[in-house]
Structure 1
């Protein structure tokens, strides 16, 4: 009887301990963090039990996506309606709630610069739904020393000299796109084409060719799977995550894990074939995988220890990242560029004239692409108005000083790229207008001294490693499109910027196109 009594007390104590932990997670800790933030003068929404502001975020997004907007580049209220409302209500530095964690919004350039510079202190978000990591745990997800190791080994793949060798593969994919559109177009009249799916396939083909060389057909399948996975991950992130729920055998959880298994198996097969070929003396360093494997092997030999290199699983994760980041960034940049040039036909004509002067009807080369000034101005302005990633997430893993405030440990931080790019205080009253002339003297001239106001590829030490690759691909594709086609918006075009990880046209990109 005494033993059973002791066991009962132990069970009661364990239950009480778990209940107190749960209450601390969903109420006491969030309220304590809210009090600390308000005591420092920050304004924000009041914490709501467990869900925080998630329900309002989802409802506002659902309402925003229910209909297109007028043809305007003032897209912030549609793309991030809750964030837009919060910053207008509480100020450029404020907080809302992502479940039981505070989300500190930062759209002040000097503070953003400090956060991006201190990448060891302000790390990527952790503690959310672990299924989000199925998209890739490579360089973009790595932190501190692991990040430094991955960056060092991957850097050679994106060196300018290596990119020159990839230009023929980029050209081949662009030529296939041009041929498809020419086949669809009557010789002396226009035809409506939704260019968005074609540009997605173009960027997927480019990444497939430049990442895996002769295995690019296999790469296409990987892209399709990664895209489905991204949509499922976004749905998961828009609901409160209960620890352990990712292990439940729900239909969506099972599908996400199935996709990840298929993607890993496909990439592993490609890597195994390449490794065998390298051992037989067929070294290929003209694609990203070959350069990465070569860089990895050199580092292992130099250090004399395999731990200094990447494991096969780490190489797989980097390949997944090549796919996702490479395809998303360039495809989005191209589609918004065509949409904007279809509206601003004067800039389309200026860009075509420049392309004609440099290349005529000849095949574009890397030297000519580097001389394109008007095209470069246009791409920079598109990236300002429609950045691929609308916000950058960070986290304070310990109490961290930022300017005059201290961010409590465990707080999420959101750097508001889209709001920053559309801020009238920074860009002027015409901040929402398409004006490529802003960049006539380059990016550095438009940046306020000592600040970070333009972040299409992030910033600081973690600035996107593939930005030069993305811009070379975009210049090649745009050059070849301008050489062969004129285009304007179709009457059936509906303006609906929205995010599925990156900023995309919800209703497609319907253009009326004709041959030049």
Structure 2
């Protein structure tokens, strides 16, 4: 027994020592090695601070940025990306910041951005935190061959010939929102409305209808649960991720797991009903995905398709990636058109000339040239995703012999490229839709082959839902312009902030006038 106790004690001590060494490497040795490597490559940033890195400074910078609104003429970058803005101002274009014990490089060189977005097998999405995976673990977070398989299976659902069948859902959801505005405005014909929550509800309902069709009410419940889940995940991600913390039986962790199970149970119920249906089940995203998946498995075998668990994760992604992107585009469009009423009038004239007061005709939506120019300029100034992230899995050389060590994150600030005066001219921060008059490719000077305009990403991983988003936005904006004119309310505060998507912190208070 004494020998056994001795051996057991030694074994425990060895295991403890191994884990202590791993922890020491994670918390200190590896960060210091990475810092030395980066400085040798000409990158600069704050010295690493044990455990927290720049987290304290990040929170202070974000708190300061969010503390007060700005003027329309002010640069929005210090408010939207405060920590990157400070690092660039302090250290120049080759800089890094510490997110806990991991450095994040800020990359502005268009040549390197192009290379990273093209080489999606080399530069992956950053590994999400365990809390991120509670929201969804589908296409946007998959890599390499698994990503390619899911992309192939999802592509048919987003073809334009399939999307046209979803147009009635766009009409219905936007019509319901406008009816609510009619009730609020009443007989006076003019009223202040915070349009932001209404746009969020409308785009959420669109996703519920187009994703699940006849199971709309269940879809609505999934959407509400996803929103709550996202809020909790953002709260958890605001602090340093401690390995194993998610397994602790805290109130927040229990609630997160409970919500995840509830969402998956609802989606599973819808899928089971759909798989038993014999007709009319392939007009929505879920039906199209199941159809595509079944065809692939019949042709190439079960391993070529998705499991039911994977289908559930893709359904969750529909919500997470779908509704806030379109809502962000619509709200900033309404805000900017409120500020520039000449462009609002031009857009309305175009809509009325094409559609009159009737429903926007799907076949004529491509003729909305002015509306398209406005959208493109809004996406340039207020891209839904202000920053794209990538991760270096192994040591790489990019651009003109710039070496990047394994284990660093990369921040590609879309919003900085979109407002770079070297590309767009001295008026880069001004709202001028006319710059897109001859199309996207001729909008900025000196682009060359580099991606300077990437509101939906670029390269192989460009957003699969881009056509869906633009179709929905065109129909919604056309219907709004047909029925209402709008201007900024005196109570409107200009306060853009990045919360997954670029959003108005204090809402979008506009004066709606019924036409």
What interval of TM-score do these two structures reach, taking the shorter chain for normalisation? over 0.9
Aligned to 2:131, the other structure's residue is in SS state helix
User: So what's the TM-score if we normalise by structure 2?
Assistant: 0.96
**Per-residue CA shift, 1:123-178, capped at 9, x if unaligned?**
0112x521111121111111100001000000000001011111111111111122
Residue matched to 1:200: 200
In structure 2, stretches of 5+ residues that fail to align are none
2:435 paired residue number: 438
Aligned to 1:89: 90
Query: Offset at 1:465?
Result: 0.3
What residue in structure 2 maps to residue 57 of structure 1?
Answer: 58
Instruction: Give per-residue Cα distances to partners, 1:3-42, cap 9 Å, x unaligned.
Output: 6555544444433332222221111111111111111112
Q: Deviations over 1:293-328 (max 9, x none)?
A: 11111111111x211111111111111111111111
Following superposition, the deviation at residue 187 of structure 1 comes to 4.1
Which residues in structure 2 correspond to 1:401-480 (within 5 Å)? 401-403=397-399, 404-447=401-444, 448-480=447-479
Q: Offset at 1:68?
A: 1.8
Q: Aligned ranges for residues 88-237 of structure 1 at < 5 Å?
A: 88-126=89-127, 129-237=129-237
SS at match of 2:511: strand
8 A contact 2:437–2:443 mirrored in 1: no
Distance 1:421 1:316 in 2: 35
C-alpha separation between the residues in 1 aligned to 2:7 and 2:309? Answer: 48
Instruction: Kindly indicate whether the alpha-carbon contact (under 8 Å) linking 1:188 and 1:514 is maintained by their aligned counterparts in 2.
Output: no
Write out aligned runs for 1:268-287 (5 A).
268-277=268-277, 281-287=278-284
Which position in structure 1 is the counterpart of 2:287? 290
Runs of 4+, deviation exceeding 6 Å: none
Partner of 1:513: 512
Tell me if 1:332 matches 2:328: yes
Report the count of equivalent residues.
511
Distance 1:269 1:184, change over 3 A: same
Query: Is residue 356 from structure 1 mapped to residue 346 from structure 2 by the alignment?
Result: no
Quick one: structure 1 residues 185 and 8, their matched pair in 2 at CA, closer, same or farther if it must change by over 3 Å? closer
> Do residues 321 (structure 1) and 322 (structure 2) align?
no
Provide the residue aligned with 2:308 in structure 1.
312
Cα deviation for residue 91 of structure 1 reads: 2.2
Residue 484 of structure 1 pairs with residue 483 of structure 2: yes
Aligned equivalents of 1:3, 1:323: Cα separation in 2: 56
Contact 1:73 1:434 in 2 (8 A): no
Deviations 1:75-112 (A, max 9, x none): 11111111111112222232111111111111222211
Query: What TM-score do you get using the length of structure 1 for normalisation?
Result: 0.96
- Shift in Å, 1:494: 1.2
- The SS at the match of 2:498 is strand
SS in 2 for 1:370: helix
- The alignment partner of 1:476 has SS state of helix
Q: Distance in 2 between matches of 1:445 and 1:408?
A: 36
Is the Cα–Cα contact under 8 Å of residues 42 and 94 in structure 2 kept in the other structure?
no
Distance (whole Å) between structure 2 residues aligned to residue 474 and residue 336 of structure 1: 12
Corresponding position of 2:79: 78
Distance in 1 separating the partners of 2:180 and 2:13:
70
- Equivalent-residue separation in structure 1 for 2:333 and 2:387 (angstroms): 20
Partner of 2:243: 243
Aligned to 1:393: 389
Q: For 1:500 and 1:306, how far apart are their aligned partners in 2?
A: 39
Distance 2:176 2:4 in 1: 78
- With 249-258 and 318-327 compared, the bigger mean Cα shift is at 249-258
Contact kept? 2:210, 2:285, Cα under 8 Å: yes
Is the partner of 2:183 in helix, strand or coil?
helix
Partner of 2:343: 347
The separation in 2 between residues aligned to 1:355 and 1:512, in whole angstroms, is 21
Q: Could you tell me how far 1:283 is from its partner in structure 2? A: 4.0
1:10–1:270: structure 2 CA closer, same or farther, 3 Å change rule?
closer
Any stretches of 5+ residues in structure 1 without a counterpart?
none
More deviation, 7-16/434-443: 7-16
- CA–CA distance in structure 2, aligned partners of residues 313 and 17 of structure 1: 35
Deviates more, 1:142-151 or 1:216-225: 216-225
